[in-house]
Amino acid sequence: MNEPSRSTSYRVGRLWRDGGWQRDASFAVDAGGALVDANDGVETIGQWVLPGMPNLHSHAFQRAMAGLAERRGRADDSFWSWREAMYSFAAVIDPESLQAIAAQLYVEMLKAGYTRVCEFHYLHHRPDGTPYAQAEAMSLALVAAAREAGIGLTLLPVLYMSGGFDGRALGERQRRFGHDVDGYLRLLDTLHAHADDDLRVGTALHSLRAVPEAALREVLASPRVRTGPIHIHIAEQIGEVQDCLAIRGARPVEWLFDHAEVDARWCLVHATHLTEAETARIAASGAVAGLCPTTEANLGDGLFPLAAYLDAGGAFGIGSDSHISVSPVEELRWLEYGQRLLTRRRNIAARQPGASVGETLWRGALAGGARASGLPIGELRAGARADLIVLDDNSPLLAARDEASVLDSWLFAGNTPLVRDVMVGGRWQVRGFRHRDEERIAQRYRRVVDSL
């Protein structure tokens, strides 16, 4: 990465701080890439400056197959038929191609306004299930891609052990995902040695169907897992809920809360199919609901009970998951629009009269994304990491917009990209809509995808 921009102090027209707009603000960046208060700025960088958005759920390799599963294959096309196509694609990915795909994806994320990504990573081994000579080679390919692109990375190596709630062995196409508990904990140890200001390592349990109860207990009891975020796919599909009920005698969220100490370190990804009691239980725990509206719509998953969850004080964040879309605007827009279609009402996320939907969604996704990332990010205050985005104040979409309407206009009033500049850890990665290395990264991506 380029060095932090600590030699310059910056002046902004309006800075998003403490959940609202501060006028005529100035800041500088210290040697560690953190924000420092300044009395006056030398360089004016824009009228609208916001914290960068954390992307709390990503499967990077799937970016290269986005759009290739949109032809009807059978009458009951669903998540499960899509998964078969995904397995076939996953079988041809190696460390070199993974790095190329992920770097391209991460450039796209930065240009869209994401400044950190939580990578839910389960492509560990060779396609036949045998380890690479360097066992962590696939994980390190993602680390290298994030460093190339300049995005912050929370790497979440995934424990994947069984092919269903009944404990069946992994299928042939799942073998490269698999670890036993000892091998998984060794992987965590190895990756923790690479952690720094730009790389955080957490824990991911693929799902209840893929992690037997004894393994879940052993992993959660390990000293290696007692700090940092814990992510899990849960209650995404009706079939998953039915299987959990049939074999474990409880719904997935209900079972998890009865068998683990779920707290603010946890991110429950999707959590689509919930009872009222489960919704309230997640909210009360402090866990983050990891919502991925464009992927959930693309796969036909269903709709999260947003209104009841927000009324219960629940935390949420957004992710682009399979990357059928790479845009926090679209994720937040469709989070709200799904609720409007479901209820035939408007302005669902804004739970109080006069509240802004855009501000409510942006504020909530920043806070939940930071928690899911395991870092104190998502804020522009002294001492916080300098992860920020600058909107294009020359855009016609923002003409005559004031502090009360700019976020609503950005999220709901057009599709023209408005993220002009992006700083991560005090380093400019995007200026004037251009990433500093996008041509080289895109050329390599095209070569790799052609070869696949």
* Catalytic annotation, residues: 270, 321
Pairwise CA distance, residues 130 & 141, whole Å: 17
* Residues 208, 255 contacting (CB under 8 angstroms): yes
Q: Which two tokens stand for residue 130?
A: 């045998």
- Written as six digits, the tokens of 154 are 């929370």
Contact 212, 161 (CB under 8 A): yes
Helix (H) or strand (E) holding 115, with range, is strand 114-121
Could you tell me the two tokens for 78?
């669903």
Question: What three-state secondary structure class fits 98?
Answer: helix
Which residues neighbour 60 within 8 Å (Cβ) at sequence distance 6 or greater? 98, 101, 102, 105, 106, 119, 121, 142, 145, 323
Helix (H, G, I), strand (E, B) or coil at 100: helix
CA distance 159 to 184: 6
- Within 8 A by CB and 6+ apart from 382, the residues are 27, 35, 36, 37
Residue 16: strand pairing partners: 21
Residue 200's closest CA among 425, 361, 423, 445? Answer: 425
DSSP state of 169: P
Q: Are 424 and 151 in contact (CB under 8 A)?
A: yes
Q: How far is CA 271 from CA 108, 252, 291, 447, in A?
A: 26, 9, 8, 37
| Integer Cα distance of 270 and 236 in angstroms | 5
Q: What is the DSSP string of 270-332?
A: E--S--HHHHHHHHHHT-EEEE-HHHHHHTT-----HHHHHHTT-EEEE--BT-S---HHHHH
Report the candidate in 395, 372, 303 with the shortest Cα–Cα distance to residue 152.
372
d(CA 127, CA 145): 21
Which amino acid would we find at residue 124? Answer: H
